[in-house]
Amino acid sequence: MTIKALIFDVDGTLAETEEVHRRAFNETFEAFGLDWHWGRTLYGQLFQVTGGKERIRHYATNWRSHDSPMAPSRITDLYLAKTARYTELVSAGGIDLRPGVDRLVREARTLGIRLAIATSTSMLNVKSLLDVTMKADGTHFFGVITVGEMVIRKKPAPEVYQLALEQLNLPANACLAIEDSYNGVMAARRCGIPVLATTSTYTCNEDLRYALAVLSDLGEPDAPFCHFGGPGAGETHVTIDALNRWHSGSVRHGRGQKPRHSFTCN
């Protein structure tokens, strides 16, 4: 079966945004008079918790247990302020799409392949990023966008992908997801969707063995990706033809149901 739709994650997949998120968190904490600061190492640990509000709650509960308990309304206020600050930072520019993303999106559109987004972040965050990186075309490129506030449980739960499949009205094996993290890979796989993983700053050392293939990025003809596992060895950049070849092998042989490969991307 050929691919009918590509479903993209956002943070770390479309663009390297996590350092902008981290800056927005820290500036919000300071504005609220909190003595919290998330350095890179700490943020890497907190990164395992999906969703900004959930990350704040987890930190307040598990890392600041000596503080007075934080009311849910306070957590919500922090999260909303952080989201507003993040969109301001993104709108100021300086964030680019990851290698190969724009090229693959446009190739898919030319070939009539549908495009979707399934992410744990907010709709406001998605739109602000697309508006900057893809200009006026961004949100129109993706016919289906499912986000964290639309579901009860975020990745690695499969709900955001289940919702995307419902809105696409396609079976799982007609789609291919592109993710960067263990939580994202598992969310898609639990729906039966084959996944291509492209590692990012905070996911380089995560267990991505359930992905169909693991690459450094989507690559460009003059800037090849690094290959870490699965199909794609010896190739330079991800194309729709390549994805169909890899995808058809996965569907035909049932690959991706069990760990297929180990890799290192250090």
Domain boundaries, the chain: 5-16+96-253, 18-91
| pLDDT (0 to 100) of residue 260 | 46
Confidence of residue 250 (pLDDT cuts 50, 70, 90): low
- Alpha carbon 7 to chain centroid, angstroms: 10
Overall average pLDDT of the 156-166 stretch? 98
| pLDDT (0 to 100) of residue 75 | 96
> Half-sphere exposure (CA, 13 Å, Cβ side) for 55?
24
| pLDDT (0 to 100) of residue 116 | 98
Label residues 79-92 b or e (16+ Cβ within 10 Å = b).
Answer: bebbbebbbebbee
pLDDT above 90 (res 67):
no
| pLDDT (0 to 100) of residue 87 | 95
Could you please report the per-residue DSSP string of 95-156? --BPTTHHHHHHHHHHTT-EEEEE-SS-HHHHHHHHHHHSGGGHHHH-SEEE-GGGSSS-TT
CATH number, domain 5-16+96-253: 3.40.50.1000
| pLDDT (0 to 100) of residue 264 | 47
Overall average pLDDT of the 10-37 stretch? 97
Is 131 in the active site? no
Could you please report the per-residue DSSP string of 18-50? HHHHHHHHHHHHHHTT------HHHHHHHTTS-
Q: pLDDT tens across 137-149, in order?
A: 667 889 999 999 9
Overall average pLDDT of the 208-237 stretch? 97
pTM, to two decimals: 0.92
Selecting among 11, 102, 207, 241, the annotated active-site residue is 11
Overall average pLDDT of the 193-212 stretch? 95
Task: Residue 109: count other Cβ atoms within 10 Å of its Cβ.
Answer: 14
CATH number, domain 18-91: 1.10.150.240
| pLDDT (0 to 100) of residue 159 | 98
pLDDT above 90 (res 261):
no
Label residues 123-142 b or e (16+ Cβ within 10 Å = b).
Answer: bebbbbbbbbbbeeebeebb
203: left (phi over 0), alpha (psi -120 to 50) or beta: alpha
pLDDT above 50 (res 258):
no
Confidence of residue 65 (pLDDT cuts 50, 70, 90): confident
